[in-house]
Amino acid sequence: MAKQSIGHKEILSKLQNKIYDPVYFLSGEEPYFIDVIADYIIQNVLTDSEKEFNQYIYYGKDITLKNIIENARRFPMMSQYQVIVVKEAQNISSYDELANYLQHPQPSTILVFCYKSKVDTRKKAFKDIAQNSLFFNSEKLYDNQIPGFIQNYLREKGIQIDEKSTQLLADHIGSDLHRLINELQKLIITKPATAKMITTDLIEKNVGISKDFNDFELKSALIQKDIYKSNWIAHHLSISKSFALNATISVLFKYFSELMVYYYIKDKSKMNVASQLNVSPYFVDEYVLGARNYNAWKTMEIISILREYDAKSKGIDNNNTSSPPSELLKELIYKILH
């Protein structure tokens, strides 16, 4: 087999067309895509009756690679294939023995390794695996890729979501894709049957994010330099059960860091700024307004302040160790605005 490096959608497409590889090595730091592929194989390759004698799910800490290979060399019973899935495969101590099997894999076995960690393909064992299996590297999405992921996931299900609702979910949930998908599925189930759009009202009702008092709205108020609104939102945000100061700081740090980049973009046309900052054109006006209200020196100062309060939120360099997160947020908002 030649070395393959393809995306999870391409792998799923092959599986849906019943094109199977003898060995799948699903690795990487983003567990969601690994689980999607493995779950599809577990649920769809064999019929329910075939699964009883031909499907095996092991865990890396409970089995040796030698035992896995011995089982993989067996023939299926009354089925074209047997499926062996090894979950938490990163707990297997060595993969040296796999090289020989990969040279002559059992064609009636579909062997799947779920290795939820990054592998070093410079090492001989993993280099052999990358060259002689269907090797998949599941990379974590960057924060700026989450809005696109949300929109694509819903679009595939025939559901629309506006930019504001997308960013609200992205800012609140972040890059935990398992949690994000659970919340999206909740929204799909609970939306009115006739509705084709996910709205902020639906999110507030079913995800527990206030559409008025959240990190997204706080950022918007700060961009406008609206002192009353910023403090009002900060107050309500800080008394909510889901408040996490470091998450709020992360949202603000991302914006002001991008605002700093905006100052150095020569072509400030909407589409070019969107491309340079890797954001939707819908949000470019936020940077135009931010640049009016905060000059470059103040923006640099704000970035420094955010770093300081990020450290304080983690108990680092905090002289007043008794300051609760709500007080730290109040101080932070004051320093940003003045």
Q: Which amino acid is at 23?
A: V
Distance CA 332, CA 327 (A): 9
**Residue in 131, 137, 143, 69 with CA at minimum distance from that of residue 106:** 69
Q: Are residues 17 and 68 in the same domain?
A: yes
Which pLDDT score, from 0 to 100, does residue 298 have? 96
Give pLDDT, residue 220: 93
Query: Based on the domain organization, do 12 and 106 belong to the same domain?
Result: yes
Q: What is the CA radius of gyration of the chain?
A: 25
| Domain CATH code at residue 274 | 1.20.272.10
Residues 6+ positions from 281 with CB-CB distance below 8 Å = 270, 271, 274
Looking up residue 45, the CATH number of its domain turns out to be 3.40.50.300
pTM > 0.85 = no
Q: Are residues 227 and 258 in the same domain?
A: yes
Work out the angle at residue 307's Cα, subtended by the Cα atoms of residues 223 and 219, and round it to the nearest 5 degrees: 20
The confidence score (pLDDT) of residue 1 equals 42
In angstroms, the CA 98 to CA 110 distance is 14
Tokens 């009353």 correspond to: 228
Q: Of 138, 155, 184, which marks where a domain is finished?
A: 138
Name the stretches of the chain with pLDDT < 70: 1-5, 317-322
Same domain membership, residue 121 and residue 12: yes
pLDDT at 318: 53
Question: Do 70 and 112 fall within a single domain?
Answer: yes
Domain containing 302 equals 215-337
Tally of domains within the chain: 3
pLDDT of residue 248: 92
